[in-house]
Every structure is written in C-alpha cells, then in structure tokens.
Amino acid sequence: MPNKWDDEKSLFEAALAHPPEAWQSFLAKSCAEQSIRDKVEKLLADHLEDSNFLRSSSQDQGSLSESRPPLNAAGDVLASRFRVVRFLSRGGMGEVYEAEDLELHEPVALKMIRPEIAAYSPNCLQRFKREVLLAKRVTHPNVCRIFDFFRHSDSPAEGEDSRELTFVSMELLRGETLSERLRRVGRINTDEALSIVSQITAALDAAHGVGVLHRDLKPGNIFLVATDSANSVRVVVTDFGLALALDQKPESGLTRVTVNEFVGTPAYMSPEQIQGLKLTPASDIYSLGLVMYQMVTGVRPFEDETPIMIAANRINKPVPSPRSVDPSVDRVWESVIVKCLDRDPERRFQSAVQVSNVLHGGGGGGKSGHKLRRNSIAILPFVNSSGDPEMEYLSDGITETIISTLSRIPKLHVMAHSTVFRFKGRLGDPQSIGRQLEVGSVLVGHVLQRGTMLNIGAELVDVGNGRQVWGERYNRKFGDVFEVQEDIAQEISTKLELKLTSEEKKTLSKRHTQNTEAYQLYLKGRFCWNKRTEAELRAGIDFFTRAIECDHAYALAYAGLADSYTTQAFLWPYVPPSELMPRARQAAAKALSFDPALAEGHASMGIIDLRYEWHPDSAQQHFKRAVALKPSHAAAHQWYGECLAAMTSFDHAIAELKLAQELDPLSLIINSVLGGIFCFARQYEKAIEQCHNTLAMDSNYWLALFFLALSYEACGKSAEAIAPLQQALAGIHKNPMVIGALGHAYATAGGKPEAEQLLLELRALSERGYTSPVNLALIALGLGDYELVFVELERALIAREGWFVFLRVDPRFDCIRSDPRFEDLIRRAGSLGSSSAS
C-alpha cells in the first residue's frame, strides 16, 4: 500500500496535466480523502505562484487543449495597436497569438495572461512584470526579443463584466522547437548539433553577461528558425519566464525551491536547483548538458521515471554516460556533456562559451568571454548555391583566393584556410563563429554558376554588434571572376579602414593568371590537395598540370604541383622519393622563376630542401623569405617549425608552430605537428596534452593519434600506444607509416607475433609497390633485429626518404643512437645535404 506522500505526488503530477481552472473538480473526482486534497491544492498553488507564463513554448502552432474558446478572435484589436491574426497555443497560465502591430506594420507574438489565473494568484501580475523586465535585459540575436508590456480593457456589453487583459508583445518566430525536431527525427548529428549548441551558448553567455539566469533551459524553450542559408537555422532561446537575476536578494524568496515547488522543469533541472541551493551560471550549464545529451542520444537520462523521481535520481545517481546509451556518440561530445553534468557545480564549465570552445577544439580554459582583435577577419567558406557537389571546388576556391589575397596585407590578420573550413556547412550564426575565432569581422557569401554566368554574393559583418558593414551581389560572366574577387578585397580593406600604401594596393590587385580555364583547373587542384588522400593527390597533380598547359607562366599552379608531389612522396609514395621529389623541385623552381616574390613558391622550395635535400639551412632561408612576403602563411610557419626541430632548435621550433597555430587555430595538421615537436623535444607531457587537444577537434585524426602513440612509447607506455595507432590505421587505410609505427609499438610492448605479422604485411605491400624502408626499419628496431634495421635504413638513405631528416630527433631511435653505424648514416645524410646545396 503506497504511503500518503506517494498518493500526493501522483495526484499532484496528474493534476498538472489539466488547466488550472479544472484542478479543483479534478481533485474532487480523483481523491476522496480531504487531507490529501488539501495538501495537493497547496502544492498546486505554490506551483502556480512559482511558475510563469513566459516559460510556455510561445511560438508552437497548437490547438485548444479544452473546449472553451480562446480569449480573442481573429480581427480583434488590443490596446488600440495590435490586430489578432490567429490563436497559436495555450499554456498553463495564458494564451499566445500571432498579431499585427498596427503602428509598425510588423508581425508580433502576443503572450497573454488569463484573467482568472491573475485572480487565482494575487502576486501573479507582479511576478509577470518582474519576469518581463528580466527578459528585456537580454538582447542578443539568439534570444527571443521582448518588446513591451500592455494592458487592454474591454467595453462590456450590457449585463457582462468588463475584463482587463495583460500581455506582452514579443518577436514572432516561425519554425519549430528543438523538442519538436527531436520528436520528429529522434536525434541530431553532431555537425548540426554543433551549430545549435554554439548558438545556445551564445544566448546563455549574453544572459549571464547581464546577470540573468534562465533556470528553465529545455528543448521546448529552444526555437529553430529557418534562414535563407542552405541547411542552417537561427537558434533562439525563448521563455525567460523563470529567469533569475544573479543579484536577487535571498530574502525575497524567489530562489527557494523545495519538493513542493518545482521552479523549472524537473527533467532538465540541476541538482542544486532541485535542492534549493545557490544558483550560478553553472546551473544553466547543467541544463544545457541535458539538452545536449538528448540531442546526440535521442533520450534523456532516467527518462522512464516520473518527474519527481527524475529529480531525485539527479541528486542521488550519476547520469549514465552518453556512449553507454549509444556507442557511436563522439568521444569529445561525451566528455563535454559529462563535464556539464557533474553534480558539483564547481567542476562544470563555468561559462557557456567554454562549452562551445571545447566542441570547436579551442580548449576549455578559463576565458569567460571573447576579446576581438582589431584588423582581423575570417573569410567563411562561401556557400555553393547550386547544390551540385561537383561545383564545391568553385565556392571553396573563391574563398581560398580571397583569403590569399587579403593575407598579403601586413596590417590585416586573416584566419587561415584550415580554420575557417572547419565551419563549412555550419554557418547558421556567423557572428557566433566570429566570436569563437576572436576576429573583428567575418565575410560570408555564396557562389552560383549557370553556364558562363557567375552569381556571387558577399556580406561583411561586424562581429562585435552583428551589423552588416557592407554587402554586394555580382552577376558577371565567369571571365570577370578576377575583377569580382579584387572588388571584394578592395571593399574589405576600405570598410575596415586599412590605410594601404601604393605598393600594398598594387599587391592586392595582382593577378597570377588571366586565363579563366587555367584558374578553374588551379582551383580544382587546390581542392584536391587540401583532401590529402592518395587518390585526391594524384587528381590534384593532373589538374595543376593541365592548368600549366593552359598558362605556361602560371606560378601559383607550379607551386601547387610542387606541393602535391612533396605531400605524395611523404605520405603516399608509389615510387621512391628520389623519383617524385625532383619533379617537385622542378615545379617549385619554375614558380619562382616566373614570380620570385611568390611566398607559396618559397615555402614549396623550403619543404623540398628539408625533406628531400636534407639541407635545413637552405630550407630555413626559403621559409624566412616566405613568411616575410606573406606573414599569415600558416603552412610556411608550420614547415619552418619542422625545419627548426630537425636542427634541434626546439624552443624556436615550438615558437614557430605556436605562431602557425595562432594564424590557423583549428588546423588539425598544425595542432598535430605541434604535439610532434613537443615529443621530439622530449617534452612528453606537453606532447600528450597537445595531441589530446587536437583529438578534441577530431577524435579520429590520424596524425594526432600517431604523435600521441609516439609520446606514450617515449614515456615507456608502449601498451597504451597500440590503441591510438589501431584507430589511426582504421581511418587512413593501409598507410605504411602507421603500420610501421604500430608494429614498433607492438614489439616494444611484448607483442612479438603481432609485430612480425605487420612486418610481413609491409613486405607484401613493398612487393606490389614502393614502401618506405623507414617503416620496415622501425618494426625491426622494436623486435631487436638491428642488422635488418641498418639494411632498411641504408635503403631509405638511397631513396632519399623524407622522414630521414627527423632521425636525429625521433625518440624511437634513441636505443641505437650511440651505434657507430647510426652515427655514420646521419653523417652521410648531412654530407648529401651539403653537396646538394652547393
């Protein structure tokens, strides 16, 4: 037999499913015991007192929950200003209408408290006003705007009482709530979820910044508004009806929450909110964590329980991890969600922006806001409006061209390609992206090609206030694409008030080719090179070659060809580097012969001198020249850092990589290489931390997993190195570099059979095509077969293997570093470098 408190809880929860005016009759029919009814009536009165009308889902299209008609009909004019268009929905305390503002001629939403509710709860109107004032404090694109507070009095018909309606006018939103989206689709993929969460955190950051807690964040209070941009939504946090001012005095009683008064929705409340403890921004962070949990798993923790049991479990039981519900959930998302849901508020993220930063790979440091840099800009990936994937090269290429053009301006900090392209397909809130990147301005645009015609739209947005600084649409022939790009670059420099010298203006309008066919082929080549896969690199070589056939003096195309050969020789060599790299060197030399001041050409020549000629001194000179010509060339800074590491100048190398990281903060390659440089410098704890930071951006990125494993091995944790390398191998199929590293890890961890099997696999690969002998040498090294090690390293020396330049610093070779044969190899490699330089 359940006790009375169980009866009271059940009856209280059942009554909440009915409108307030029906509670008394419901209780009379449902419970014969007067003492229980009295207690439940008290609970319901307390609930109504601490609930608020603004918390209901304001914009949901709905039907009447009961037979009684709405308070107002279409055509009614309220407060001599608003004409009712239609009834939208009814909540626990009032009704929502779509209306026309007759003064401003704009659609609005009207939220109206029902007169009988105001009479039932004497403090209701006072609390309603307080909540409206709090909601008006928060002004942000991701927060529903509250306009004003109104009263309307009817002239009663004969025999009828007059009525006074109290309502608020607010932004009318068209779309669906996150709750409706989740009911429709079950769960949301992390790409879409990232855009939604970024905008929610921006809204919470704005609220917390003016001292307001939401206290009722849930999917029903998050609205998704369709935008003009393809596949993007504007996310709007609504219903600050339970908002609490952080400076609220405790004695007011507004913070009191007991089992009798659920101020909020139990399924989304923080433990401290349930227990009536002090609330902080971390309380809203907890609710955000529950929303994120539901977005990526499709369920809520403890979903099968009653609302009160959900609240009790929240206090007494740990929340099941998202991956225990769905193993496919991304590990970064899981770690962020788990941190948000820590029962101790001090151990959660302390600001909403930290949540977004970590999901975007920016780390979870203590920054509670963004400091926007002057004279800084992010050119966000232009949208391919055609919807044809074959045209992605064009929208991506124009984006990259504008980035490259503006990067020539020394006064302007331009976010690099790798970072901005992390946001491709997630451009719902450019202002929020700009804040994350800490830039002053963002450029957004679209590209559409129809036959020979090109439609390009561009808009420059001030990140600080969201204002459009400049916008333009261009409808031109494709042959005018160079002029359009120059116009955009010139407009940006003008609007940002950059005072350019005559030489800088000349540089800004410099064209590398006049041939539009060559330009299109070049864009396709760079599009493929950025993919870095074996097949795409080969395709890129073909596109660059064809671009050069169209314009024999196209310096940029020669640099692109050189980079493609160099990358292929390092990652996916199908013939020895001694065959591929001379082609790269010839292409880089051609680029510099046509344009001696081409930063890309000097960077290409530098990496060739490093990885093939094994002459770091010569490479260093090219890298210095490249960054002098183009200070924002992130890849040149990265390669320069690699060069310095090969020279064992680790402090300088780390500084150069950090500069590259600042220019391109979300670049997976740069962040991974920084971890590798820490490893080479024997700073293993920093290496492991940096690799984990990179994996927070992409948990499967092979190069970060590779350097993480090397760092584990160097610390004597060979067994821990195996899992990251297995994960890397799954993502970069049959890559010999990863196979060799995995074989070495198995061998040093005592897994001799596994290592021998991988050695056989590499030998089989080498029989079908070229495989780097360094990888074979590494497995032999782990197995202790030093004779085989030096046989393979001798072959690597002859083949001019790129990794050979790192043998001096790779910790895996420490065990043979004092062997005279190893010293002789390093000496001869240095001699080859010196002779090639001379």
Checking if the pLDDT of 764 tops 80, the result is yes
Checking if the pLDDT of 105 tops 60, the result is yes
Report the domain count for the chain: 5
Checking if the pLDDT of 230 tops 70, the result is no
Q: Give residue 20's pLDDT.
A: 57
0.85 exceeded by pTM: no
Checking if the pLDDT of 203 tops 90, the result is no
Q: Give residue 357's pLDDT.
A: 79
415 found inside a domain:
yes
On whether both 217 and 295 belong to a single domain, the answer is yes
On whether both 395 and 264 belong to a single domain, the answer is no
Q: Give residue 94's pLDDT.
A: 74
On whether both 829 and 786 belong to a single domain, the answer is yes
Q: Give residue 261's pLDDT.
A: 38
Range name among 15-24, 34-43, 710-719 with the lowest pLDDT average: 15-24
621 found inside a domain:
no
Range name among 288-292, 423-427, 431-435, 472-476 with the lowest pLDDT average: 423-427
Q: How confident is the model at residue 64 (pLDDT cuts 50, 70, 90)?
A: very low
Q: Exposed, middle or buried: residue 100 (CB in 10 Å: 0-12, 13-18, 19+)?
A: middle
Task: Identify the CATH number of the domain in which residue 203 sits.
Answer: 1.10.510.10
On whether both 94 and 14 belong to a single domain, the answer is no
Q: Give residue 415's pLDDT.
A: 87
**Cβ proximity of 232 and 428 under 8 Å:** yes
Q: Give residue 68's pLDDT.
A: 64
Checking if the pLDDT of 704 tops 60, the result is yes
Task: Detail the DSSP E strand segments found in 154-289.
Answer: 164-170, 175-177, 212-213, 222-226, 233-237, 244-245
Instruction: Please tell me which residue, 157 or 99, carries the higher pLDDT value.
Output: 99
544 found inside a domain:
no
On whether both 224 and 267 belong to a single domain, the answer is yes
Q: Give residue 693's pLDDT.
A: 85
Q: Give residue 367's pLDDT.
A: 39
DSSP H helices, 647-772, are 650-663, 668-680, 684-697, 702-714, 718-731, 736-748, 752-768
Range name among 231-245, 428-442, 457-471, 601-615 with the lowest pLDDT average: 231-245
Checking if the pLDDT of 773 tops 80, the result is yes
Checking if the pLDDT of 579 tops 60, the result is yes
On whether both 356 and 235 belong to a single domain, the answer is yes
Check 50, 60, 76, 216 and give the catalytic one. Answer: 216
Q: Give residue 364's pLDDT.
A: 43
520 found inside a domain:
no
Most confident option among 176-185, 310-319, 630-639, 705-714: 705-714
679 found inside a domain:
no
d(CA 640, CA 598): 16
d(CA 68, CA 591): 79
Checking if the pLDDT of 534 tops 70, the result is yes
Most confident option among 110-124, 340-354, 619-633: 619-633
The length of the chain in residues reads 838
The arithmetic mean of pLDDT across residues 749-762, rounded, is: 92
Q: Give residue 303's pLDDT.
A: 65
617 is catalytic: no
Task: Detail the DSSP E strand segments found in 146-250.
Answer: 146-153, 164-170, 175-177, 212-213, 222-226, 233-237, 244-245
Q: Give residue 316's pLDDT.
A: 66
Q: Give residue 6's pLDDT.
A: 52
On whether both 335 and 415 belong to a single domain, the answer is no
Q: How confident is the model at residue 156 (pLDDT cuts 50, 70, 90)?
A: low
d(CA 603, CA 475): 36
Domain end, chosen from 452, 479, 511, is at 511
Domain with 149 in it? 52-172
Task: Identify the CATH number of the domain in which residue 477 sits.
Answer: 3.40.50.10610
Domain end, chosen from 153, 172, 191, is at 172
Helix (H) or strand (E) holding 376, with range, is: strand 373-379
Token duo for residue 2: 């359940």
On whether both 217 and 362 belong to a single domain, the answer is yes
Checking if the pLDDT of 97 tops 50, the result is yes
Among candidate residues 132, 85, 131, 135, the one with its CA nearest the CA of residue 105: 85
Checking if the pLDDT of 253 tops 90, the result is no
672 found inside a domain:
no
Token duo for residue 729: 């191998």
Percent of the chain with pLDDT over 70: 83
Q: Spell out the residues 6+ positions from residue 629 whose beta carbon is closer than 8 angstroms to its own.
A: 597, 598, 599, 602
**Pairing outcome for strands 106-113 and 146-153:** unpaired
128 found inside a domain:
yes
What's the whole-number average pLDDT of the chain? 81
Q: Give residue 295's pLDDT.
A: 92
On whether both 319 and 383 belong to a single domain, the answer is no
Q: Give residue 383's pLDDT.
A: 86
Q: Give residue 165's pLDDT.
A: 84
Range name among 46-55, 325-334, 508-517, 719-728 with the lowest pLDDT average: 46-55
Range name among 91-95, 489-493, 553-557 with the lowest pLDDT average: 91-95
Q: Give residue 260's pLDDT.
A: 35
Domain end, chosen from 511, 527, 544, is at 511
Checking if the pLDDT of 158 tops 70, the result is no
For residue 338, report the phi and psi dihedrals to the nearest 5 degrees: -60, -40
Range name among 141-155, 540-554, 611-625 with the lowest pLDDT average: 141-155
Checking if the pLDDT of 387 tops 90, the result is no
On whether both 99 and 210 belong to a single domain, the answer is no
Among candidate residues 291, 284, 250, 281, the one with its CA nearest the CA of residue 270: 284
On whether both 166 and 70 belong to a single domain, the answer is yes
Q: Give residue 838's pLDDT.
A: 43
On whether both 390 and 446 belong to a single domain, the answer is yes
Q: Give residue 308's pLDDT.
A: 56
816 found inside a domain:
yes
